[in-house]
Chain A
């Protein structure tokens, strides 16, 4: 994460039977300004949040962060890097990384 500003993108990571799902809060970002990289076992989410408004606007109250952001996560080795899906809904980026076939839990039945 970039040190400038006190910005923190909250991330929830959960694992289900066949994928790892990342939920990243990036309110106000444009879809086209978000980049997702998967390099070996490192998933990186970066981008820039641009402020919309005119130069002449007077700021009366300012708490929101604008500018660059970046976070990286080390993935487990059991992922299928060719099967990564992402969507941006209501300011939340949802990235799902599929598990490799051999990593999926198999239910063994007792005969």
Chain B
């Protein structure tokens, strides 16, 4: 270990740097433009052998969306970016929201993670999650 001469002010500077870092990360603008996260409307449907999750992501392409499944938690995240506008454009109305989002859904039962599929069409992300064999509904006959 190198021997460093002790500077009385060193610890103070370290505290200051730490505080600055805290404030920077708190105010960091990595979500939407007004500071809040986007919350794209999401539906989840269930039929006998699968769950279907649909998310409204108008104007996004598939490279901007990330889907992960860990245990029984489905996470869909991404970043919806505003198209760059030329400086000469005049804006009359701005209602669309842009920024990053992260939606997390707990799946009611086990799914076959190797068979999950997803597609993005007309601004709708559709994730299909086949149920695991043991969590499918089955009819039980009465013996006797």
Contact = CB atoms under 8 A, between A and B. Distances in A.
Contacts of A30: 122
A90 B92 contact: no
Nearest to B48: A56
B92 A13 contact: yes
Interface in A44-65: 53-54, 56-65
Contacts of A64: 41-43, 54, 56
Contacts of B53: 61
- Per DSSP, chain A at the interface is loop
Contacts of A10: 95-97
A26 interface: yes
B35 interface: no
B41 A91 contact: no
Given A25-B96, A60-B46, A14 B56 contact: no
A11 B122 contact: no
A12 interface: yes
A91 B40 CA distance: 13
Contacts of B140: none
A16 to B, nearest CB: 5
Contact of B122 (A54, A59, A90): A90
B124 to A, nearest CB: 4
B96 A60 contact: no
A100 to B, nearest CB: 17
A15 B90 contact: yes
Contact of A91 (B45, B46, B56): B56
Contact of A11 (B45, B93, B120): B93
Interface string B75-93: 0000000000110111111
A67 interface: no
A27 B38 CA distance: 15
B94 interface: yes
A12 B95 contact: yes
Contacts of B52: 53, 57
A44 B140 CA distance: 55
B95 A91 contact: no
Interface of A: 8, 10-17, 20, 23, 25-30, 53-54, 56-65, 88-92
Q: Which 7 A-B pairs have the closest CB atoms?
A: A91-B123, A27-B123, A91-B58, A61-B44, A25-B58, A27-B56, A10-B96
